[in-house]
Structure 1
Amino acid sequence: MKATFLGFNPEYAEAAPTFEEVSQLSGVALLEFGAPWCGYCQAARPAIEEVLNGASELSHIKVYDGKGKRLGRAFKVKLWLTLILLRDGQEVERLVRPVGSDEVRQLVSF
Structure 2
Amino acid sequence: MNSSYATGEPSRAEVDALSGPTLVEFGTAWCGFCKAAQPLLAEALVDAPSLRHLKIEDGSGRALGRSFKVKLWPTFIFMRDGQELGRLVRPGSAELIRQELARLELAAS
Is TM > 0.5 for Structure 1 vs Structure 2?
Answer: yes
User: Unpaired segments of 5 or more residues in structure 1?
Assistant: 1-7
Match of 2:97 among 95, 104, 110: 104
User: Unpaired segments of 5 or more residues in structure 2?
Assistant: none
Does 2:70 align with 1:77?
yes
What does residue range 26-105 of structure 1 map to in structure 2 within 5 Å? 26-105=19-98
C-alpha separation in 1, matches of 2:87 and 2:13: 19
C-alpha separation in 2, matches of 1:102 and 1:22: 25
Moved over 4 A (4+): none
C-alpha separation in 1, matches of 2:28 and 2:100: 21
C-alpha separation in 2, matches of 1:39 and 1:71: 21
Q: Which amino acid letter does the alignment assign opposite residue 17 of structure 1?
A: P
How much has 1:56 moved relative to structure 2?
A: 1.3
How much has 1:71 moved relative to structure 2?
A: 0.2
Larger % of helix: which? 2
Give the secondary structure class of the aligned counterpart of 1:15: coil
**May I ask how many residue pairs the two structures share in their alignment?**
103
* Identity percentage of aligned residues: 50
